[in-house]
Amino acid sequence: KQEIFTELSKDYISGITFSGGDPLHENNLNEVLLLIQEIRTSYPDKTIWLYTGYTWDQIMDYSFYDSMSKFPNNTFEYADIEIKRRVIAKECDVLVDGEYIDEQKDLTLKWRGSNNQRVIDVQATLAQDDITVPVLHCGDHDDIPMGRETATAPVADIEENIVNFKGSSRKCCDA
């Protein structure tokens, strides 16, 4: 932990990325939550990226209460896990969602390995009225909409869902 904070204190370090295994796996939630909250408090201007096999829909789905009957003996534990996943995701700037699928591997994609994954600007998404439609981080590089966020949206609406990163005047993908 000390090494992470030493590195984050350097001006040329812009942020941190959580990946490997899955930071949102139930065995990692407590430690990841505490670490992200401490980073956010100590370094509010550093970006936090998180890679997860869960999709945005799975993380933000509030209908999980309806399915709690599947877990009658662990209802509170299950709810606690889902809430922690949401809190962690909401503390991030960018979330890359979806499992890596080798059959969909594409080396031309930025920040993701397979076509099914999305690079989501979390804070811009949460600022919308409808958080079920994620705002894509550098949406101009997300050429696979997966049918959820653009299936019925006109191109002009899609362009509105591409935002500048961290208040910058340029798009995050500009060279």
pLDDT along the chain (175 residues), means of 10: 95 93 91 95 95 92 56 59 92 93 88 89 92 77 40 44 44 43
pLDDT at 150: 39
Contact between 52 and 97 under an 8 Å Cβ cutoff? The reply is yes
Helix-, strand-, coil-residue percentages of the chain, each rounded to 5 = 40, 10, 45
pLDDT at 138: 73
Cα 153 to Cα 66: distance, rounded to the nearest angstrom: 30
pLDDT at 70: 55
pLDDT at 38: 96
Contact between 118 and 104 under an 8 Å Cβ cutoff? The reply is no
pLDDT at 168: 42
The span from the first CA to the last CA of the chain, in angstroms, equals 33
Q: Are strands 15-18 and 47-51 parallel, antiparallel or unpaired?
A: parallel
Contact between 65 and 79 under an 8 Å Cβ cutoff? The reply is yes
pLDDT at 114: 87
Task: Name the H helices within the chain.
Answer: 2-8, 29-42, 56-60, 75-91, 122-126, 155-160
